[in-house]
Amino acid sequence: MTRSLAIQRAQDVLDSGALAATLARRVRYASESEEPQGAPVLRAYLEEEMAPSLAALGFTSQLHDNPVAAGLPLLVAERIEAPGLPTVLMYAHGDVVRGQAAQWREGLAPWDLHIEGERWYGRGTADNKGQHTVNLAALEQVIAARGGQLGFNLKLLVETGEEKGSPGLREFCEQQREALKADLFLASDGPRVQAARPTLFLGSRGALNFELRLNCRERAYHSGNWGGLLANPGIVLANAVASLVGPRGRILVDALRPREVPEPVRRALADIQVGGDADDPAVDADWGEPGLTPAERVIGWNSIEILAMVAGNPAQPVGAIPGSARVFCQMRFVVGTAVEDIVPALRAHLDAHGFQAVEIHTGASGAATRLDPEDPWVRWALESIQRSTGKRPALLPNLGGSLPNDIFANTLGLPTLWVPHSYPACAQHAPNEHLLAPVAREGLALMAGLFWDLGETGAAVRAARAA
């Protein structure tokens, strides 16, 4: 069978309704990793849904307990055809964010797949059940089209804690380094730059959640009797944040700013348009680092955002000076900014500006990663995607968001390729999450093409990279 027929068969999976039936079954698992009651559902998703589906494709699977976080198991599956063939490691996560059922619009529910036109609604349809369902459906058709032989070895790691920051994933990969050994990492998560444009990204910005906290006194005091006499922690923290980020979103701490956008990154982003889809917000032209394009600001630069701030009781404010205040922030950063250097830079800056009493408390974090855009695997993937879709794919040196890619790139030492099957306005992590059928259909085509081409030319690309 030819490559084009394999692609057509993959798209037929959507056209026939088979893809929707499989995804509906997977959406019904309320696999909320952020809720304690989700633990048995997470295990069931791996044992009852993923392992049998993978066995039908010739995989052998093994379920593992999480080495750090109880109740967040992992599944490793492998399909080995011959020791000397190229080996690909794929990744997926079976957990989802909270369902937020009460906030979905009338007629929709998080655990039921509901199709309206091109939109397939349900929790996990975009993140990540829909995406790994597309990949496995395409893989199934290529296996059938090639007479049961792919021409490469395939391993799949499925975790169930990604929405909690992937606790234990790094430790697990360190323990299973030999079992997860591969030549290439290939996965799907996150959004395309636009719904109509296939996208390839090579890493992700790093992230650090941090909280600025100031406790001036144990209780609040009347603002009329004490206003002008007592330090207001809300005002102090507002000024502390203003010393970090200017009124137009520009980072003011030199140690937290990249030195430049590297030329290969700038070239890759030259034709990238951010936003533009019907549900996308308008980009604020005067926000962020001056002199950069929107794509460079979100893909090639660092940002600090306020996620929430609290002083007193916002729901029922009273005429009193609060005793304490908290600001929850998040920094996204590119390669060149080391996650371990961020807090020392913040501490030094706050101390130098008179905010010695402000405490810094850190949360989840991950390092920034970026595969060289000129890597042979990148050129191979771009050519394959364009051949399958007839479109020039967008190349992002890294995703603007954050994924546990540093574990695959740094801990396992793999070249990393991500091919997303979602789009920016998919309502990921929000009510009314959905997958777009045209994006899924095109995803089936381009993944079938990638799997086909791995069997045909993967060994040559591996050799070229080694040389």
Q: What is the DSSP string of 335-393?
A: TTS-HHHHHHHHHHHHHHTT-TT-EEEEEEEE--EE--TTSHHHHHHHHHHHHHHSS--
392 CB-near residues (< 8 Å, 6+ apart): 386
264 CB-near residues (< 8 Å, 6+ apart): 372, 373, 374, 397
Question: Hey, CA dihedral for 345, 346, 348, 352, is it positive or negative?
Answer: positive
Q: Are 239 and 231 in contact (CB under 8 A)?
A: no
Secondary structure letter of residue 274 according to DSSP: P
Residue with tokens 């137009």: 248
pLDDT of residue 277: 80
Closest by CA position to 443, among listed 79, 155, 189, 163: 189
What six digits make up the tokens of 391?
A: 């479109």
H helices present in 107-249, as ranges: 129-145, 169-175, 223-226, 233-244
Q: Are strands 359-366 and 206-215 parallel, antiparallel or unpaired?
A: antiparallel
The DSSP-derived string for 97-122 is ----GGGSPTT--TTS-EEETTEEES
What six digits make up the tokens of 79?
A: 């399909």
430 CB-near residues (< 8 Å, 6+ apart): 100
Q: What share of the chain is helix, strand, coil (3-state, %, to 5)?
A: 35, 20, 40
The CA-based angle 151-155-159, given to 5 degrees, is 155
CATH of domain 207-258+302-366: 3.30.70.360
Closest by CA position to 93, among listed 180, 173, 166, 162: 162
CB-CB neighbours of 218 under 10 Å: 7
Domains of the chain, by residue range, sit at 3-204+368-466, 207-258+302-366
Q: Where are the beta strands (DSSP E) in 163-257?
A: 184-187, 199-201, 203-204, 206-215, 221-222
Domain 3-204+368-466 has CATH 3.40.630.10: yes
The CA-based angle 75-429-103, given to 5 degrees, is 125
Residue with tokens 């091919």: 419
Over the chain (467 residues), the average pLDDT of each successive run of 10 is 94 98 98 95 98 98 97 98 97 98 97 98 98 98 96 98 95 97 97 95 96 97 97 98 98 97 93 84 94 96 97 95 98 96 98 98 93 95 98 95 93 98 94 98 98 98 95
pLDDT of residue 364: 84
Question: Hey, CA dihedral for 110, 115, 117, 120, is it positive or negative?
Answer: positive
The CA-based angle 273-126-161, given to 5 degrees, is 115
Closest by CA position to 204, among listed 175, 242, 151, 166: 166
